[in-house]
Amino acid sequence: MIGIDLVEVARLKNDDKFLSRIADAQEIAYIKKSASLDLQRQRIAALWAVKEAVMKALGLGEKSGVSFKDIKLCHHDSGKPYVELSGVAEQEFNISFYGKTIDVSLSHTQNYATAVAVIL
């Protein structure tokens, strides 16, 4: 299964209330350590995009009960992104895709962020 998302950076807010709704403390710390507010906004958009892409790959819609916090964006020491699942996202993955892995890729510019999630 494949999921993809594209988002305009300007569409998303860079405030604590919005971030706490979609991200955990580790994800927020990663965003806040960005060198500029511009990069922070790009990373917020990329975070949104990867969570949407994973939901699409899992086949989860807005009525499934999945939360943005059920999908956590992490990075290996090399910088390569990966996701950790919990809650509804983890349950659906274990039911439908047990034994498989999720690979993700992100990209962002000043105006757009995109993400792809592939379940292999």
The CATH number of whichever domain residue 9 belongs to comes to 3.90.470.20
Which region holds residue 111: left if phi is over 0, alpha if psi is between -120 and 50, else beta? alpha
Looking at the structure of the chain, the number of domains it has is: 1
CB 116 within 8 A of CB 105: yes
Tens-place pLDDT, residues 33-45? 999 999 999 999 9
Question: pTM of the full predicted structure?
Answer: 0.95
Q: What is the pLDDT of residue 91?
A: 96
- Alpha-carbon distance of 11 to 32, in angstroms, equals 18
Q: Which domain, by its residues, includes 107?
A: 2-119
Residue 91 corresponds to which tokens in the numbers above?
């349950």
> Tokens 């899992």, residue?
58
- Alpha-carbon distance of 74 to 62, in angstroms, equals 23
